[in-house]
Amino acid sequence: MTTRAILIERHGPPEAFVERDVSLGEPGPGEVHLRVKAVGVNFADLMMRAGLYDTVPPRPYSPGFEVAGEIVSVGSEVSDWRTGDHVVALIRFGGYAKDVIVPAANLFHYPESLTPVQAAAIPVVFLTAWVCLFDSGNARAGETALILGAGGGVGTAAVQLAVRHGLRVVGTAGNPEKRAYVTDELGAVACFDSRGDWEPDVRQLVGDRGIDIALDSVGGKATAACRRLLAPLGRLILYGLSDAVPKNRRSWLLAAKAWLRMPFIHPFSLVEQNVGVFGVHLLHLGTKEQQVLRPALDEIYRAITRRELHAVVDRAFSFDRRGAVAAHRYLHERRNLGKVVLSDQPYERRDLGET
């Protein structure tokens, strides 16, 4: 049996994607065959395609961490799922394909009120935000959180989660429409221009009190600014390095510059300032993966059902090579407000223009 997949055969710009028929085996005893209806596109996918991501299989392979679809068949030892069930799945790669074989342990129910596009837009961004805020960051009501890239996928999820849990949220975003959305629609108290020098604006807003939690997906100089803004007992959570990714193609020089701009942090400097620095990689939780992610996603979906949270989906691009190229270019250009998805089911929020 074969299926259609969008593959990385060589590193390069978005146009390096190819689309081919690939073999698809039968599900093993603890696996299911899932017909994919929508796949979330994440910034890590761009880094994979550009050759800046280390934990990947040999090429050719298909990127894609999260998919929504319908179960076609189940393995002999699968008892909790049936043919026809609509589910989301978290996987390490392979999601840019019309069919996937996944372990049943990686499946999650999603609310019937959601479309596959909305369902696929939720797991990675909301779980990343959840782990950053509550598992690593130990966020508490009344604290102040700084969220860089607040108009992006993880950013819009993090703002919603933080506000819902009683935190005062300050964000950064790249254009006026994104900044307005973060404050007016998501509830942040302020959102400053990520393209400028936002550190003095944040400092003026929070005063000597400082920032309790900073979520940093940017790296480079932004990391140093976040650390300077931390209050005593503040926590800096690093979960990305978008500063290393250019608008269209791999650039080792840009990646090296972003890496070198990261501040050196000596452990004793943290002791003196009473601050902490954490790193979060959602797919490297090891034995804690099920323990952390399943109850978190269950709570996230319950909150979505109660309309306390919502998926911020910018648009869905066609589920083929052409759509994947366009989606990656859209993210490279930082045009997205919220999440971008590949699907044959059209969904378009609005065009925000280039930032």
CATH number of the domain residue 19 falls in: 3.90.180.10
Residue-wise pLDDT tens digits, 105-163: 999 999 999 999 999 999 999 999 999 999 999 999 999 999 999 999 999 999 999 99
Q: 178 and 57 in one domain?
A: no
Residue 66 lies in a domain: yes
Domain match, 38 and 27 both: yes
- Sequence-distant (6+) residues with CB within 8 A of 287 are none
Residue 260 lies in a domain: yes
Query: Are both 259 and 158 inside the same structural domain?
Result: yes
Mean pLDDT score, 158-184: 98
Q: Is residue 160 part of a domain?
A: yes
Residue 306 lies in a domain: no
**pLDDT at residue number 352:** 40
Range 210-218 average pLDDT: 97
Q: In what order do the strands lie in the sheet with 190-193?
A: 190-193, 168-173, 144-147, 211-216, 230-238, 276-279
DSSP 166: T
Instruction: Answer yes or no: do 115 and 134 share one domain.
Output: no
**DSSP result, 20-85:** EEEE-----TTEEEEEEEEEEE-HHHHHHHHT--SS-PSSSB---SEEEEEEEEE-TT--S--TT-
More confident residue, 241 or 142: 142
Same domain, 139 and 95: no
The three-state secondary structure class of 202 is: helix
Q: What phi, psi does 245 have (nearest 5°)?
A: -105, 115
Answer yes or no: is 298 within a domain: no
- Please give the pLDDT value at position 347: 78
CA–CA separation, 95 vs 70, rounded Å? 14
CATH for 171? 3.40.50.720
CA atoms within 13 A on the CB side of 330: 24
pLDDT, position 345: 86
Is the residue at 353 inside a domain? no
- At residue 29 the predicted structure's pLDDT band, cuts being 50, 70 and 90, is very high
DSSP state of 336: -
Choose among 225, 224, 227, 214: nearest CA to 143.
Answer: 214
Question: Does residue 30 share a domain with residue 155?
Answer: no
Fill in the DSSP letter of residue 133. I
Average pLDDT on 79-95 reads 97
Mean pLDDT of 10-14: 93
Kindly report, residue by residue over 268-308, the tens digit of the pLDDT. Answer: 899 999 999 999 999 899 999 999 999 999 999 999 999 99
Residue 55: the pLDDT is 85
Residue range(s) defining the domain that contains residue 168: 125-284
Average pLDDT over residues 324-338: 95
Average pLDDT over the chain reads: 93
Query: What per-residue confidence (pLDDT) applies to 53?
Result: 86
- Token output for 118: 């909305």
Cα end-to-end span (Å), the chain: 43
Domain tally, the chain? 2
Name residues whose C-beta falls within 8 Å of residue 252's C-beta, 6 or more positions apart in sequence: none
- 87 and 130: one domain? no
Question: Are both 135 and 103 inside the same structural domain?
Answer: no
Q: Three-state SS for 103?
A: strand
Question: 3-state class of 343 per DSSP?
Answer: strand
Among residues 8, 90, 95, the alpha carbon closest in space to that of 52 is found at 8
Residues 250 and 160 in one domain: yes
Are 95 and 12 in the same domain? yes
**Considering the domain boundaries, does residue 252 fall inside one?**
yes
Q: Which residue has the higher pLDDT, 237 or 50?
A: 237
Same domain? 109 vs 135? no
CA-CA distance, 228 to 163, in Å (whole number)? Answer: 23
For position 315, what pLDDT does the model report? 94
Classify residue 273: in a domain, yes or no.
Answer: yes
* Euclidean distance between CA atoms 55 and 52, whole angstroms: 10
Tell me the C-alpha distance between 333 and 338, whole Å: 14
| Same domain, yes or no: 84 and 134 | no
- The per-residue pLDDT for 354 is 34
CA torsion sign for 123, 128, 129, 134 is positive
> 299: how many CB neighbours lie within 10 A of its CB?
15
**Single pTM value for the model:** 0.94
